[in-house]
Amino acid sequence: MIENTILENLVLNEEYSRKVIPFLSDEYFSDKTERVIFTSIRDFVNSYNGVPTKEVLHISLSDRKDLTEDEYNKTTEIINSFSNREENVEWLVDQTEKFCKDKSVYNAIMESIHIIDGKSTKTENSIPEILSDALAVSFDTHIGHDYIEDSEERYESYHKTESRVPFDLEFFNIISNGGTPQKTLNVILAGTGVGKSLFMCHHAANCLTPNLNVLYITCEMAEEKIAERIDANLMDITLDDLKELPKEMYDKKLNRAVSNISGKLIVKEYPTATANANHFRILLDELKIKKRFIPDIIFIDYLNICASSRLKTGGNVNSYTYIKSIAEELRGLAVENNVPVFTATQTNRSGFTNTDVGLEDTSESFGLPATADFMFAIISTEELEEQGQVLVKQLKNRYNDAFSNKKFVVGITRAKMKLSDVKKEEQVSLVDTNQNYKENDSFGSGFNSRSFDEKFTKRKTNEVSEWKI
């Protein structure tokens, strides 16, 4: 019934035809006669920039050599049944979109079954992508922003408060203008063991407090290990003490920690270097259906051990292209789901021995910082570790001036997987020509003459292991 209505209005309603033709596929029509009618309509529209009449269709189909007499007679019967009744275009478009989605999913399921049964040349590894593409089918009827006609809407957007996910760390809120906006990719740069996962676990725990739904995807550690770290953070207890807690005490501390939390945390593990953005899309769909869970923020731990959905490793694909592709796909995931995405990347070899990490120290790809909206480095030295601190350095910032408050320190308690603010007056020892602190501003009372490099860095020795960067 819906197929006939679609075909009828493709011929009789030019407005409708122009809206839906780009999204329709001949694969959506299971009946051969309906399929050949559709292809004839589509080919005419593409060739002549207009819709065919019933007479034109009759002539076009009479020339088809792939139709039996019965099939041709059926096409004639269908075309002759087209009436001139008017349907609501908006309703028609909505129904057609639903039709396309349903048919796309059905076809994807059938193709997957054929793959499993060995009746297809494709492998089972292609099934997630096939299903993901089917679930992504939708009509994009927005034709762009009209500068003159949409001026009022544009003006209102200037005064609209942008939704952001705040930090619980003061300086991060300062440099991000109150938190990370939706549809953004935020990247942490650090060496092994410095605190990439610690930062993400801390921020994930923090996001639960304002009752946000958090999705934490791990490609490195087990789900239980991530949950353990968040336990330690929320319960304010060391990992070692956590393991020694009796069950009764554990339940008591956990209940106290989550008593004011209504948001949910889902931790999902994927094997290293196997999962890509399409796997994450399928996960999001399953969580929505099975748990009615829609995340407000997504953590992916971490970018370098994800896979690309578009490119395969090896062959002619270099690391720059591959990592840039992953970054673009993760940012696309953020845009599609209207959430900020946090991930991390490793420093390269030079960055591992560098006490002042820069964008050039990004492992494998400069394309990653080009794609990220917000990027910062976490740097640790022996002196900082002794004081229970790490240095944060802004590398890229689309939310604020990256050269204002370029460096600052935060407290770190590794045993509890926690970060904390360092008093403003202690930040003044960080001398940097780009720090915009003033005598009477809210950030402190000025700087002494002792530079950061003098206070916090130690001259390199032959032992690289003395440094954590």
Domain spans, the chain: 2-135, 164-376
Predicted confidence at residue 358, as pLDDT, reads 59
What whole-number distance in Å separates Cα of residue 190 and Cα of residue 469?
Answer: 6
3-state secondary structure of 330: helix
Pairing of strands 407-413, 418-421: antiparallel
Predicted confidence at residue 167, as pLDDT, reads 92
3-state secondary structure of 254: helix
User: Helix, strand, coil: what percent of the chain each, to 5?
Assistant: 50, 15, 40
Predicted confidence at residue 445, as pLDDT, reads 31
Predicted confidence at residue 361, as pLDDT, reads 59
Pairing of strands 265-269, 214-218: parallel
Dihedral pair phi/psi, residue 282, rounded to 5°: -60, -40
- In the predicted model, residues of the chain with pLDDT beneath 50 are 350-353, 431, 433-434, 437-469
Residues 26, 28, 31: CA angle, nearest 5 degrees? 80
Find out whether 328 and 371 touch, Cβ atoms under 8 Å.
yes
* CA–CA distances in Å: residue 8 to residues 15, 41, 57, 94, 345: 13, 10, 12, 16, 54
Predicted confidence at residue 217, as pLDDT, reads 93
Residue bearing tokens 């080009």: 370
What whole-number distance in Å separates Cα of residue 140 and Cα of residue 117?
Answer: 35
Residue bearing tokens 């393991």: 243
Assigned CATH for 164-376: 3.40.50.300
Angle of helix 69-80 relative to helix 2-12, nearest 10 degrees, comes to: 70
Predicted confidence at residue 213, as pLDDT, reads 93
Q: Is it true that domain 2-135 has CATH number 3.30.70?
A: no
How many helices (H) and strands (E) the chain has is answered by: 20, 11
Predicted confidence at residue 314, as pLDDT, reads 59
Could you say which DSSP state residue 340 is in? E
What whole-number distance in Å separates Cα of residue 40 and Cα of residue 231?
Answer: 62
